[in-house]
Amino acid sequence: MTHVLRQWALALARPIHVRLRSQKVDLFREYLSATGLTLLDVGGGAGIAGEFIQLYSYFSSVVMANLEPSLEGLNGCRILPVAADGRQLPFTEKSFDWVFSNAVIEHVGDYEKQRVFANEIRRVAARGYFVTTPNKYFPIEPHSLLPFYQFLSPEWQRRVVRFSPGYMREYEEIHLLSAGQMQSLFPEAKIIPTGVPLFRNSLVACYKSA
């Protein structure tokens, strides 16, 4: 029965998740005022239903940096995969026009590690960056789909994660961020709440140089 409930919950969440990601892509496109630009996607991929492929098509060159880069689902896309840790990117300062990172920063470790990650993105971006993360204060934690899971101690998360109807079945160290914390990590950026009306489930740090 638990397996059936999980499958039902994931099937229900999938189209919503894809739609919300597509909203982020549309928002990012609004900031792109030129063509022939280069993009670094930190921790990226095609997405659940290939929702990021359209985004990649707006750039002349795309590099995907990931601990274990994969081109699965990206057939036909000219993308250079690079094995790299987002906290120590192997690129020179301002080496990409834009840097994009979707829902990665909450997985890199505690707040100080998140600051290192953020500073690396800021360092290599020449024209701007677009970094998204789940909103800590949205009531449903997006990985477990459990209400208020993100406010529990690690000990209690380990106890209750087995009841998750989401994809996360075992404890993982995840540190969700608030809007204030995102602003601290990306001080020159505009922090934009996106997603579900009234209770915004995602935060975007978007910066475009003058």
The DSSP code for 170 is: S
pLDDT bucket at 9, cuts 50 / 70 / 90:
very low
For residue 158, what pLDDT is reported? 96
* The pLDDT of residue 210 is above 70: yes
- Identity at 121, one-letter amino acid code: I
* The pLDDT of residue 131 is above 60: yes
Beta carbons within 10 angstroms of residue 186's beta carbon: 21
Domains of the chain by start residue, with CATH: 2-208 (3.40.50.150)
For residue 197, what pLDDT is reported? 78
For residue 18, what pLDDT is reported? 64
**Beta 96-102 vs 79-83: how paired, if at all?**
unpaired
- Identity at 23, one-letter amino acid code: Q
Per-residue pLDDT tens over the stretch 160-201: 999 998 889 899 999 999 999 999 999 999 999 998 777 889
Strand partners, 40: 63, 99
Per-residue pLDDT tens over the stretch 79-129: 899 999 999 999 999 999 999 999 999 999 999 999 999 999 999 999 999
- How far is it, in rounded angstroms, from Cα 133 to Cα 181? 11
Question: H or E stretch including 30?
Answer: helix 2-30
Inter-residue contact 103 to 133 (CB < 8 Å): yes
Per-residue pLDDT tens over the stretch 138-165: 999 999 999 999 999 999 999 999 999 8
- This prediction has a pTM of 0.88
- Identity at 30, one-letter amino acid code: E
- How far is it, in rounded angstroms, from Cα 8 to Cα 62? 35
